[in-house]
Chain A
């Protein structure tokens, strides 16, 4: 039996185990232990029998190995067309092997599979659009992550992230008390500039229940204040839940399906409790994917949809601009060239590409599309949890060259990124490649140009 303490197949369910992992600087001991982690081949075989069905098995079998997926992959293109980055190779040499050997694989293969599943793929699903058979290697990579998680072969940060969700129902150690305090603090802090600004917590039957990314209360609390101001200006009857406010899912990135279900259920419980008409998700891509697109399936919603209609923030903004709830001061529109980065999670995988274009038509004078864009956009390089994994930092940075060149080709210096992970990735891209760009969420841009009704303006002294 292995003597592992930190790196085991068991998920993290208590603070003690979480702290032990957090103390292990950069996961040194964790990864060292992983080299001795035994594969429970019987359990793996059973999991395959129970969950690997005709869709994935057929994909693996009928792939004719034509290589047409190669040019679809941002990592293949960014890594000087390294054949080991061809999507088909990445999935056949990992999941393909595990399935063909019916789970009878060793530690080395599992660690290789981990390196591929998290270090060479962001599950952006672009390859699926370029395979003549519609073989979606991103879906398979995501499934592979689930197999790896069940056996404990998961990057250190992902193990921690999954533990955070299981313990705090948030991707970071933000408690419900911390969250409510942050809302109150933001109210006070912004009250002088925005008289009467309220962040209503747990209001029942509101028109909108707004949910966030735990990074906002933890690191960017002003994001919550900005959202509040814009809802106020738009005259929305809105609220935030005191519990079930976190939309993100590092559990999804980690392949922790059980944890992912727990997280999403906490949001659905809030919907059940507060009975809002609609839910709006902050400017985050994977949060939308997890809670709105995948979450209904994890929690057994027969409709395949969230319990109430849910909008991504870009949908709400587009609607508010279209209906005149938010009006833009024409003199304050963005004058410089500006481009828009499409988040794979809610654009290709969520169908919202037109919302971004509609918003840009209201706020920018010189909007420049990247090529390709919309459903066929390239990943920023930081999706799928890759942003947060120290072990694969080089892979992430190298994988961003395609995005860098796409942005450079537009000539724009401002990149609108209505997604937390993309925002981070583009910020890091600038740090790595120094091409003189900056990135922004929509909220601060809108706040600079929106027409503020008289009654919401601060009283002049």
Chain B
């Protein structure tokens, strides 16, 4: 079982994940249409690229945009969730050991205790996100069962990974559950709203180009405050 999950199924998940990202990114770009979107992507492109870069850049930092500043608690929550999620996954010692074993390379790692803290942060933030989704009327009305399900799918690898690492419960089981839930997440990302993990950049860039090229980018004396 373990061999299957870490062998063919792992390959399959990574294949779906990476090819999904690639195909969807290409389809996004191919689907842009100067006439229908009413943005001349190919004329005055430099104005567009500049604003696209600004549009992405500012939104990557907490409190750097007006939107982030107007909702500080939400902003803190979002950044804790996303930053912890990415760092604890990529720089985990155990993950990098696997990389080293299988492909002979690894990237920088963080101490296990930091990984632990970040994992707990992901889980705690997810819990608050769920509570927020239920408690706030303006978020509740937007929420469908799939929104909860996808959040659960997203945090399952963190919960199981934490349990497995600390050998809480039945270790072989939690380890298998960790691998399987991680693979499920990889497969689900390209086909659901979780694709925002890469389409975020395209969508932000597009709006940036829209503002940079058409919506006043060439006339605005002070660049737009995102």
- Which chain A residues have a beta carbon within 8 Å of chain B's beta carbons? 51, 53-55, 57-59, 61-68, 70-72, 76, 81, 83-84, 86, 88-89, 92, 128-136, 293-294, 297, 300, 302-304, 315, 346, 348-354, 372, 375-376
Contact = CB atoms under 8 A, between A and B. Distances in A.
B139 A54 contact: no
Given A51-B36, A65-B139, A133-B196, 4 more contacts: A58-B28, A62-B200, A84-B141, A297-B35
Contact of B59 (A70, A132, A294): A132
Contacts of A131: 67
A76 B226 CA distance: 21
Interface in B59-94: 59, 66-68, 70-71, 74, 78
B66 A350 contact: no
Interface string B10-42: 000000000000000001111111111111100
A295 B164 CA distance: 60
Contact of A86 (B43, B142, B207, B216): B142
A322 B208 CA distance: 30
A129 B226 contact: yes
B193 A55 contact: no
B214 A53 contact: no
A319 to B, nearest CB: 12
Nearest to B226: A129
Contacts of A352: 216, 219-220
9 contacts: A61-B195, A62-B203, A132-B78, A133-B204, A304-B40, A352-B220, A354-B220, A375-B224, A376-B66
10 shortest A-B CB distances, which residue pairs?
A351-B216, A54-B31, A134-B207, A351-B220, A304-B40, A65-B142, A67-B139, A83-B141, A297-B38, A70-B138
A53 B193 contact: no
Contacts of A84: 141
B148 to A, nearest CB: 11
A84 to B, nearest CB: 7
A303 B45 CA distance: 11
Contacts of B112: none
Interface residues of B, number: 60
A349 B67 contact: no
B58 to A, nearest CB: 11
A71 B139 CA distance: 12
A73 B29 CA distance: 29
B206 interface: yes
Given A54-B27, A134-B204, A350 B216 contact: yes
A53 B74 contact: no
A130 B214 contact: no
A66 B216 contact: no
A139 to B, nearest CB: 8
A61 B206 contact: no
Contacts of B39: 304
A348 B66 CA distance: 14
Nearest to A293: B214
